[in-house]
Structure 1
Amino acid sequence: MTHTASLQTPLQPAPAPLTPAQRIRDDAEAVAVAIELASVFAVGASDRDRDRLLPWNELERFSRSGLWGITVPREYGGAGVSSVTLAEVVATLSAADGSLAQIPQNHYYALEVLRVGGSEAQKRFFYQQALAGYRFGNALAEIGHKDFRRRTRLIADGDGFRVDGRKFYCTGALYAHWIPTLVVADDDTQYLAFVPREADGVTIVDDWDGIGQRVTGSGSVAFEQVRVEADWVVPFSASFTRPTPIGPFAQLLHAAIDTGTARGAWAATLDFVRTRARPWIDAGVDRASDDPLAIVQVGDLAVRLHAAEALLRRGGRFVDAAQAQASDDSVAEASVAVAEARVLSTEIALKAGNRLFELSGTAATFGEHNYDRFWRNARTHTLHDPVRWKFHAVGNFHLNGARPPRHGAL
């Protein structure tokens, strides 16, 4: 990947929260807060994308809202919302701003890894950090190798460790207070090390220049002999030697982001066709919204979007079941249900972004609208992992009873 030179700037740490985050009490409040924030974030979303304006102010408001702590279990002071609710929160925000909605994705992922594999002391500490408004990023993936997650090392150092390596696609790390980092010990066991953003030896470079999701900050993080305490290191690979819902949980968040992107493109389409678009001459009507072929296309979009939303909710229910009682069967069923949601969320996100122009006409391509951001965001985010393998997982499960592989792929 070629990176724009002007983007390659090491960044200063995110400031600690000045005031504690709000405490969201339940699922209904979480959805209500997301709806309120989405209306605010939508206003500047196009400008942030067009000019690549990093959303520091929006993130501070996002953090203070309490939404970053909604998956913390109730016994630790959080709302412990369902995965169905979390997916709806993410989709709601993604409809307003796909980049902002993706930034906390790995924050929620880290909290789920912690829930499954963390010690009691680790849960108490990091859950309180999340509830206070601290943001967790990620440094999981590595590029340049087929085994793209196996070269950042965890090195014993007295009563703690050192982390040494380099990561890319580090969504959220740019804005984070803690960077959960996938590391490998000398015996090839994988761990998730929670690295303080301000630790000596941590360098974040804002070199993400993808065509979409432009302000997710999904660039590089380098670790040069970074000291981490033993209490900050959580088992990772051990969480996949037994059935856990970490994988389908992560995939559900992806489906939610894409579903929300589709919602945003759909809303823009309805607005433009009603207020700006011209009908095709052969339609014999005065308004584009009365064009019979346009009506058919809008109907097709509506069916596909509502189907994707239904599968997203269904996938969330399966993840909830697997979280409540993880077994080989419940985790496999959750993985397949979420794979089905990923198929439709991928398809509708791309289709809605494309159909926006088809139905709205040439005027919709003007730069003032920046409508291409919906397609660019969808095309970029849906490349995360290939949808063709979702079809394979679904088909192999239903035809041959084969359970999908268990791993922590994001």
Structure 2
Amino acid sequence: MNNKQLNSSVPTKISDRISSPVFTEAVKVETREFDQLISAIARDAEKRRSSGNEAHPYFAMDLIRQSRLGALRLPVERGGGGANIRELFQVIIQLAEADPDVAHSLRAHYSFVEDLLISPVNEQRDTWLQKIADGEIIGNAFTELSSKDVGNMVFETTLSPDGDGYRLNGTKYFSTGTMYADSVLVTASTLDGNPVSVIISTDREGVIIEDDWDGIGQRLTGSGTTHLKNVFVKKEEVTVKRDEKTPFNSYLQLYLHAVITGIMRNIVTDAASLVLKRSRTFSFAAADTAAADPQLQQIIGHISSSAFAAEATVLAAAETLDIAVNSAVDGIIDYALSHNASLRTSQAKVIIDNMALQASTQLFEVGGASATRQSANLDRHWRNIRTIASHNPTVYKARAIGNYIVNGTELPVKQVYF
């Protein structure tokens, strides 16, 4: 029996109107199959938006399972796509351009995969790598509202012994992507206060997932509440805690800005479409048509340049993550390389947040008053960017960067981004 409790019904007609690509192996970057996947997800997102009921992206998530996009970072010989981190982040940007909710929903999944790839070889690791190669999607249950200091790795959710296994009890919030996932990675504390993680099926008895996320943006990321009510956990489902892998969580932060960058690419497309569709212009405009207006052209040029700069910045930071991850020995990443990746990722956040929010506002300068109609839904870009950027306040990042540049004080190690 499936114990997921969702407040929204699964759309049954949208996917029927969209041709589904057929996948015979794990999708790889820059292939015809990958292009077909992204196109199908984009068409589904557009149809769901136009239906006016904000239906959840179940069809897109099923396509991701079928294509094994979640295995993109796995070596080809393990059934994956063989991509490096830079290539993965390029994919996330493209996926977010097609549907930012879908891209965001996979954040915990790809982070879990990255942890597996740098972990020492063991049976548990091999089991999960195979499940991911088969298309399984992983969600997260990390955040607790009671935490006074995010990242302190002390949880009210408890894992207590019970015969040959354990019992898991607690409540997690902002469980992004979990309502679409097959399994969920849950952080908890043992009875003696030690942090621990477990990975269990989302349809396990006692796992209740609420679709109660009411944010102004990223509304369909499945970022609801996860209740864990006396859930039985097998011994082999207990994993090591996440913070043993690397001193910094740059990956999780940069992922958010890859999603923002994808949204910026979509803003460029929408800006051009607005201008081309305008049949009239202002009496004091510099041209007879909106498309010929040099001032509107200049605004779109600025938006396009911002999107390019954001993408280049994300990919440059991703390259430092590649270097850091490739240094891993027995699951431990070189500290200096990890710090450099954290620095570059933080710098990316500080500049991209501002550029993206500005671009989402400039969009309305080329569309006129008609662009503000609710039916146009163009405000979604600002709402989505504002929601993602709010995960980690820019002011703290900028200060930490400045303190490092001026005084040589390294960035804080304790950084968790869920």
> 2:18 maps to what in 1?
none
Aligned in 2, Cα 1:190/1:73: closer, same or farther, shift over 3 Å?
farther
Residue 24, structure 1, aligned to residue 26, structure 2: yes
Name the residue aligned to 1:281: 283
Equivalent residue for 1:314? 316
User: Aligned with 2:116: secondary structure?
Assistant: helix
The Cα offsets for residues 160-215 of structure 1, whole Å up to 9 and x where unpaired, read as 22211000100111111101111112333222210211211111111112121111
Match of 2:189 among 184, 188, 193: 184
Mark the CA change 1:123 to 1:42 in structure 2 (over 3 Å): closer, same or farther: same
**For residue 357 of structure 1, what is the aligned residue in structure 2?**
364
Residue 386 of structure 1, aligned match among 387, 393, 398: 393
Report how far residue 8 of structure 1 moved. 6.8
- Give the stretch that moved more between structures: 172-181 or 158-167: 158-167
What SS class does the counterpart of residue 169 from structure 1 fall into? coil
Contact 1:34–1:92 (Cα < 8 Å) also in 2:
no
Task: Kindly provide the CA deviation profile for residues 370-395 of structure 1, in whole angstroms up to 9, marking residues without a partner as x.
Answer: 11111111111111111122212322
SS at 1:253 equivalent: helix
The answer as to whether partners of 2:45 and 2:57 remain within 8 angstroms in 1 is no
Tell me whether 1:83 sits opposite 2:55 in the alignment: no
Contact conserved, 1:117 with 1:235, CA < 8 A, in 2? no
Q: Aligned equivalents of 1:33 and 1:341: distance in 2?
A: 31
Counterparts of 2:345 and 2:243 in 1: how far apart (Å)? Answer: 23
Using the TM superposition, give the Cα deviation of residue 68 of structure 1 relative to its aligned residue in structure 2, in angstroms: 0.8
SS of match in other structure, 1:293: helix
Matched residue of 2:223: which SS?
A: coil
- Tell me the SS of whatever aligns to 2:265: helix
- Alpha-carbon distance, 1:322 to partner: 0.4
The aligned residue for residue 36 of structure 1 is: 36
TM-score (norm 1): 0.88
Match of 2:233 among 220, 228, 236: 228
Partner of 1:374: 381
List aligned pairs for 1:25-174, cutoff 5 A: 26-29=28-31, 33-49=33-49, 50-74=52-76, 76-117=78-119, 120-147=122-149, 150-174=155-179
Asked if structure 2 preserves the Cα contact closer than 8 Å seen for 1:71 and 1:79, the reply is yes
Tell me the TM-score normalized by structure 2.
0.87
* Among 203, 206, 222, the residue aligned to 1:201: 206
Preserved contact between residue 29 and residue 91 of structure 2 (Cα < 8 Å): no
CA distance in 2, matches of 1:73, 1:234: 22
Would the aligned equivalents of 1:137 and 1:171 in 2 still touch at CA under 8 Å?
Answer: yes
1:70 is displaced (CA, Å) by: 0.8
Per the alignment, residue 343 of structure 1 pairs with: 350
Instruction: After TM superposition, give the deviation of residue 239 of structure 1 in Å.
Output: 1.0
Q: Deviations over 1:325-379 (max 9, x none)?
A: 1211100000111112222332232222211112111111223321111111111
Q: In the aligned structure 1, how far is the partner of 2:311 from the partner of 2:7?
A: 39
For 2:141 and 2:354, how far apart are their aligned partners in 1? 28
Distance 1:10 1:361 in 2: 35
Equivalent in the alignment of 2:271 = 269
Q: In the superposition, relative to structure 1, how do residues 213 and 277 fare at CA in structure 2: closer, same or farther (>3 Å)? A: farther
**Cα distance in 2, alignment partners of residues 73 and 250 from structure 1:** 21
Query: Which amino acid is 2:36 matched to?
Result: E
Measure, in 2, the Cα distance between the counterparts of 1:369 and 1:43.
16
State how far apart, in whole Å, the 2-side matches of 1:278 and 1:162 are.
65
Distance 2:393 2:290 in 1: 36
Matched AA of 1:315: A
Q: Which runs of 4+ in 1 moved over 4 A?
A: none
Show the 5 A alignment for 1:241-252: 243-244=246-247, 247-252=249-254
Name the counterpart of 1:405: 412
Structure 1 unmatched ranges of 5 or more: 1-6, 13-19
C-alpha contact (below 8 Å) 1:307/1:344 kept by paired residues? no
Question: Letter of the aligned partner of 1:51 in structure 2?
Answer: N
2:216 paired residue among 211, 214, 222: 211
8 A Cα contact 1:184 1:191, kept in partner: yes
Change (3 A) 1:284 1:198: closer
Relative to structure 1, is the Cα distance of residues 147 and 230 closer, same or farther in structure 2, using a 3 angstrom cutoff?
A: farther
Q: Partners in 2 of 1:398 and 1:127 — Cα distance?
A: 40
The answer to whether the Cα contact below 8 Å between 1:304 and 1:344 also exists between their aligned partners in 2 is no
Corresponding residue pairs, total? 392
Q: Which amino acid aligns with 1:37?
A: L
- Cα distance change, pair 223–237 in 1 and its aligned pair in 2 (3 A): same
| 1:320 positional shift | 0.1
Q: Distance in 2 between matches of 1:373 and 1:25?
A: 29
Offset at 1:244? 4.9
